[in-house]
Amino acid sequence: MATNAGMTEALARLWTKFLPEITQRVAVLEAAAQALSVGLLSAEQRDAAHAAAHKLAGTLGTFGLHQGTDLARQAEALLAEEISRVDAVHLEGYVRELRTLLDSRQAL
């Protein structure tokens, strides 16, 4: 049992350490979704959002947020291809769910 408690404590410390970075990556996705919805998503912003989604997909599962990993992967796949304003609804949905998930898990 002490090992489980130690692991839980270690994960909580890591979560606290990486939460600002995770939150920033979601903010990058939020900005990209907003820009896409008004037709102003630049290639650089799309690339940054794609990278943020990729990193989130890899990170969130570490903290047991498998739904977050799935959402980030969906956003990543969407951002990997040519994207149009029609796709904004999907991207906004993924990002909204990611934000809700993070807000509900601020502390492990």
What is the average pLDDT across 14-37?
96
For residue 46, give the nearest of 35, 57, 38 by alpha carbon.
35
At residue 106, the pLDDT reads 65
Mean pLDDT of the chain: 92
88 and 40 Cβ atoms separated by less than 8 Å:
no
Position 6 confidence tier, pLDDT thresholds 50, 70, 90: confident
Distance (Å, whole) CA 22 – CA 44 = 20
Topology of domain 18-104, CATH: Four Helix Bundle (Hemerythrin (Met), subunit A) (1.20.120)
What is the average pLDDT across 59-87?
93
Position 59 confidence tier, pLDDT thresholds 50, 70, 90: very high
Distance (Å, whole) CA 23 – CA 103 = 9
